[in-house]
Amino acid sequence: MATLPMVGYDDAPPEVRAVYDDIMETRKTDWINNFWKVLANDPPTLARTWNSIKEVMAPGALDPLTKELIYVAVSATNGCEYCIRSHTAGARRQGMTDAMLAELMAVVGMANETNALANGYAVDVDAAFLKDAR
């Protein structure tokens, strides 16, 4: 039970149906996952969020699988179960194997460990990294 009700396809107003149709066509699926059904309570937020995701996750300088891996990495760090499960599924659709998932998690784990160490010791940024930044 989310904090707002889910809007099913049959009950959806036309502008929500248009987004649902685009989601299913873009993803080559015949169903809409709960996240969008909850966002649909506010059609402008649904449309804006979907259009952003669609633009951001499209192939570009990074391929779609790399983008899904990054999404899982952020979601694991934030502890967002919904996001972990939906984007792990998304990454599998893009070809992620069990070995790739295991390596992804190993990197995410080490990154969280060393983030805590660098912050906890208040390590000064090396001049070389600042110069390198631009």
Tokens of 48: 């804006």
Q: Please report whether residue 30 would count as binding a copy of itself according to CB under 8 A.
A: no
| Interactions with a copy of itself, residue window 37-66 (CB under 8 A) | 38-39, 41-42, 44-45, 48-49, 52-53, 55-57, 60-62, 66
Q: Please report whether residue 7 would count as binding a copy of itself according to CB under 8 A.
A: no
Burial 38-66 (b: 16+ CB within 10 A, else e): bbbeebeebbeebeeeeeebeeeeeebbe
Counting Cβ atoms within 10 Å, is residue 79 exposed (0-12), middle (13-18) or buried (19+)? exposed
Identify which range of 7-15, 17-25, 91-99 contacts a copy of itself by CB under 8 A.
91-99
- In the complex, what is the shortest distance from the CB of residue 25 to a copy of itself, in angstroms, rounded to a whole number? 18
Report whether 29 contacts 59 (CB < 8 A). Answer: no
Q: Please report whether residue 94 would count as binding a copy of itself according to CB under 8 A.
A: no
Residue that is written with structure tokens 């990054």 in the block: 70
- In the complex, what is the shortest distance from the CB of residue 121 to a copy of itself, in angstroms, rounded to a whole number? 5
- In the complex, what is the shortest distance from the CB of residue 17 to a copy of itself, in angstroms, rounded to a whole number? 18
Q: Please report whether residue 14 would count as binding a copy of itself according to CB under 8 A.
A: no
Q: Please report whether residue 130 would count as binding a copy of itself according to CB under 8 A.
A: yes
- In the complex, what is the shortest distance from the CB of residue 6 to a copy of itself, in angstroms, rounded to a whole number? 9
